[in-house]
Amino acid sequence: MWSNVLYIDLETGEHHTRDRSDLFDKYLGGTGVATQLLLEECPAGIDAFSPENPVIFSIGPLTTIFPCVSKVVSMFKSPMTGEMGESHAGGRLAMAMRFAGYDSIVIKGRAAKPSYLSIHDDEVKLKDATSIWNLSSVEVTGKILREVEPGKGRRSIMRIGKAGVNQVRYANVNVDTYRHFGRLGMGAVFGSKNLKAIVISGTEEVELPDMPAYKKMYSKLYGEVVDTEVMDKYHDLGTAANINVLNRLKGLPTKNLKQSHFENAESISGEYFADNLLLRKIACSNCPIGCIHIAMLKTQFQKGHEFEVSHISYDYELIYSLGTNLGITMGEDVLRLIDRCEQHGLDIMSTGGVLAWATEMYERDLITPPDTLGLSLRWGDTDNYLKMIDRIVEMPNKFYQAMAKGTAVAAAEYGGEDFAINLGRLEIAGYHTGPASIVGQIVGVRHSHLDNGGYSIDQKASSQQLSEEQMVDKLIYEDYWRMVNNSLVCCLFARGVYGEQNMVDALECVGIKKTRDELEAIGREIFLAKYKFKEREGFDIDKVSVPARFFETVSQLGMVKKDTVDNMLKLYRKKTGI
């Protein structure tokens, strides 16, 4: 129904739109269409920082039309992995793209000087960003742009921080202060393009073929979202509730995965945050859940009653990455670390992984003060970690340059590969639940725990005694169906509501008639198209090395055996044909 693609060339500042119903009819939108655009636009084998690397954004046919269909898919070649870069973000961006009338945006080239894009309905302008290029804070960048740009209340503002400007390979793109294109380094790609920010807004009034049927379906889905346990789970304590849960189950990666439980979990748990630090909750546009938990951190900066107050969003992955993984024992300290990464615009999951690896290297004398420029690294030492984060962004010497490239690269240079916790060159998510989590992150198209939810398959396996083959079947089912979810593009927290039948019915409301089987086939096709790109760029499942540490630390399902992982990978390849 919608298939308008905006192409922008940063080199010349020129832009044009093209109707791509050829792609949208076949691949729905979101991840399906973005993958095709990536295959078209990204020449084989280029460097991720080459001007030719495209940055692509896509929404889908249900975006803003139905509740919780609130995400945007971004795609690019990743400087972290050298293959598929894909990240999803919410905030207001999806809605702003819908009302600006762009279903996808493709950005290529490199601007001659620091610039930002201002997109309001049909008006697309490349503007000078020299004065904000080197700002130290992502938050301040947002404040300045809000003053000069129109679209108040309807606009979305994406921007990079110092980390993106300096091309730290896991720099993120901040979206509307509290959401991110977090993983795989799109922020660094922005930096390489001299692109500081994108502001987008629109005023379209969208009409649907059968309004009465649409209203009925909206009410049904809205009711399911607010009445199911989804609401409790994500709104109440939020994902941070998992800290205590996974700690009890021994699935919580701690101190560089030396442990899978944390003796001090209680004081950085979701319960602790909610009771002591939580200020309020907010939502992405068109999502009644409101899962974004915002904490208030009050710090004394001088004697007397001199305080500074910051508002910081937190969730499970952040508390794991900068909390348990670094042995931090107080919620307040976790917030200080999160805030520092946020201001620089760093992907927190990768930053935590790199810091944890470095701490263990230091513990074993494999790196020494001359490498760290005098900083000693100890588990739980927040002050030194804060300094280290600054140095990763500034890269004052060879060691910090290596750290800015991620755990896999740094370990290849300095050693400690057996405990460089990455899968497919990406630092892992906060789950050491068993083999499905490990296999899931290796095979997942973006090496994310969200590709196929391997952790939850492990959890099922612990109660239902699943065989290796059954676990692989479940991974594949998720891999295919989430391609459909991600093409619509609904929030994965609401995936329980957007099951097979609801997706079929919701699509019908916007005039897209697909059967369940057709949707599954599309999911599989998108998955294979992604593997086409991945393999073209050199990804090979057989070459992914799993650091020994994964097999040395007990998981929720007991010790994971290397044979199990190898066997599951073999089964996965056989069944998917990749």
Minimum Å gap between C-beta 562 and other proteins is 46
Q: Per CB under 8 A, which of residues 220..279 are in contact with other proteins?
A: 222, 226, 231
**Does residue number 386 form part of the binding site for other proteins (CB under 8 A)?**
no
**Does residue number 311 form part of the binding site for other proteins (CB under 8 A)?**
yes
Residue of 110, 127, 233, 281 interacting with other proteins (CB under 8 A): 281
**Does residue number 132 form part of the binding site for other proteins (CB under 8 A)?**
no
**Does residue number 536 form part of the binding site for other proteins (CB under 8 A)?**
no
The CA-CA-CA angle for residues 195, 197, 201, to 5°, reads 130
Closest to 254 in 3D by CA, of 316, 326, 315, 318: 326
**Does residue number 136 form part of the binding site for other proteins (CB under 8 A)?**
no
26: part of which helix (H) or strand (E)?
helix 21-27
**Does residue number 282 form part of the binding site for other proteins (CB under 8 A)?**
yes
Among 31-39, 151-159, 527-535, 569-577, which window interacts with other proteins (CB under 8 A)? Answer: 151-159
- Of residues 289 and 546, the one with the C-beta less far from other proteins: 289
Bridge-based pairing of strands 15-19 and 104-108 is unpaired
User: 3-state SS string over 341-354?
Assistant: HHHHCECHHHHHHH
Start-to-end C-alpha separation, the chain: 32
Minimum Å gap between C-beta 92 and other proteins is 8
Among 12-20, 142-150, 270-278, 430-438, which window interacts with other proteins (CB under 8 A)? Answer: 142-150
* Amino acid symbol at 232: D
DSSP 558: B
Write the DSSP assignment of 410-454 as a string of letters: HHHHHS-GGG--EETTEEPPS----HHHHHHHHHSTTS-HHHH-H
CB atoms within 10 A of CB 22: 12
Residue of 65, 168, 408, 411 interacting with other proteins (CB under 8 A): 65
**Does residue number 345 form part of the binding site for other proteins (CB under 8 A)?**
no
**Does residue number 11 form part of the binding site for other proteins (CB under 8 A)?**
no
Q: Per CB under 8 A, which of residues 155..184 are in contact with other proteins?
A: 157, 176-178
Residues facing 555 on adjacent strands? 558
* Contacts (Cβ under 8 Å, ≥6 apart) of 229: none
Three-class secondary structure of residue 282 per DSSP = strand
**Does residue number 303 form part of the binding site for other proteins (CB under 8 A)?**
no
Contact 432, 556 (CB under 8 A): yes
- Of residues 98 and 344, the one with the C-beta less far from other proteins: 98
Residue of 94, 284, 367, 522 interacting with other proteins (CB under 8 A): 284
For residue 476, give Cα distances in angstroms to 84, 228, 315: 19, 26, 27
- Of residues 177 and 247, the one with the C-beta less far from other proteins: 177
- In angstroms, the CA 446 to CA 84 distance is 7
Contact 69, 90 (CB under 8 A): no
Three-class secondary structure of residue 222 per DSSP = helix
Minimum Å gap between C-beta 98 and other proteins is 8
Minimum Å gap between C-beta 288 and other proteins is 4
Closest to 287 in 3D by CA, of 35, 546, 576, 498: 498
**Does residue number 286 form part of the binding site for other proteins (CB under 8 A)?**
yes
**Does residue number 93 form part of the binding site for other proteins (CB under 8 A)?**
no
Contact 463, 437 (CB under 8 A): no
Residue of 9, 11, 52, 139 interacting with other proteins (CB under 8 A): 139
**Does residue number 218 form part of the binding site for other proteins (CB under 8 A)?**
yes
- Of residues 78 and 313, the one with the C-beta less far from other proteins: 313
- In angstroms, the CA 98 to CA 539 distance is 34
**Does residue number 339 form part of the binding site for other proteins (CB under 8 A)?**
no
Contact 488, 494 (CB under 8 A): no
Count the residues of the shown chain that bind other proteins, applying the rule CB under 8 A: 42
- Of residues 311 and 460, the one with the C-beta less far from other proteins: 311
Among 205-213, 255-263, 368-376, 485-493, which window interacts with other proteins (CB under 8 A)? Answer: 205-213
**Does residue number 298 form part of the binding site for other proteins (CB under 8 A)?**
no
- In angstroms, the CA 226 to CA 213 distance is 20
**Does residue number 494 form part of the binding site for other proteins (CB under 8 A)?**
no
**Does residue number 99 form part of the binding site for other proteins (CB under 8 A)?**
yes
**Does residue number 203 form part of the binding site for other proteins (CB under 8 A)?**
yes
Q: Which residues form the interface with other proteins (CB under 8 A)? A: 64-65, 67, 95, 98-99, 139, 142-143, 146, 152-154, 157, 176-178, 203-208, 211, 214-215, 218, 222, 226, 231, 280-290, 311
